[in-house]
């Protein structure tokens, strides 16, 4: 039920051979994702239930970070789902190449926990790997 936010395979940073210069979790003057402090307990029953305090609430359009490439391009990475920000990956700050070398494992951007009531509708709205690949094919054909 947790969502790990990563760069998509088709993201320009993974396709064009760009070099990542900087990752910034400072979203605005008053909002830094690095200031997200989650505390609480987990209780084991059939599921893990998290009681969180201090976790930032994100909407689908909430920016998580900004990534700058060496060619001057800047990309804002959005949450894309509603939920509580559990963790940001601080390892990519000191080693930004992880985003490109291991985007779906050690190079993840953040972990978000959707509300339990919303988690089913969120997962039902996601594309399968096959659907995602079909969308990419359609984009490439229409761009040609």
Q: pLDDT tens for residues 82-106?
A: 899 999 999 999 999 999 999 889 9
**CA nearest neighbour of 52 among 116, 106, 108:** 116
> In total, how many domains does the chain have?
1
- Rounded CA separation 114/100 (Å): 26
Element housing 13 (H / E): helix 12-15
Q: What domain range includes position 8?
A: 3-28+53-142
41, part of any domain: no
**Tokens representing 82?**
């509603």
126, part of any domain: yes
- Rounded CA separation 60/136 (Å): 22
Q: pTM for the complete prediction?
A: 0.80
46, part of any domain: no
**Tokens representing 133?**
């690949």
The angle subtended at Cα 111 by Cα 105 and Cα 115, nearest 5°, is 140
Per-10-residue mean pLDDT of the chain, 144 residues long, equals 88 84 91 78 44 77 94 93 92 94 93 83 82 89 80
Assign residue 99 the CATH number of its domain: 2.40.50.100
100, part of any domain: yes
33, part of any domain: no
84, part of any domain: yes
């Amino acid at each position: 039920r947790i969502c790990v936010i990563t760069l998509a395979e088709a993201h320009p940073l993974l396709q064009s051979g760009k070099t990542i210069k900087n990752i910034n979790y400072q979203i605005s003057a008053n909002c830094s994702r690095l200031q997200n402090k989650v505390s609480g307990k987990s209780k084991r029953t059939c599921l893990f239930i998290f009681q969180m305090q201090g976790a930032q609430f994100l909407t689908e359009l909430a920016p998580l970070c900004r990534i700058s490439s060496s060619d001057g391009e800047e990309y804002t990475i959005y949450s894309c789902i509603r939920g509580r920000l559990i963790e940001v990956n601080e390892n990519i700050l000191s080693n930004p190449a992880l985003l490109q070398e291991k985007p779906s494992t050690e190079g993840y951007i953040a972990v978000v926990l959707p509300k339990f009531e919303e988690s089913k509708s969120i997962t039902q709205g996601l594309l399968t790997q096959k659907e995602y690949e079909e969308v990419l094919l359609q984009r490439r054909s229409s761009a040609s």
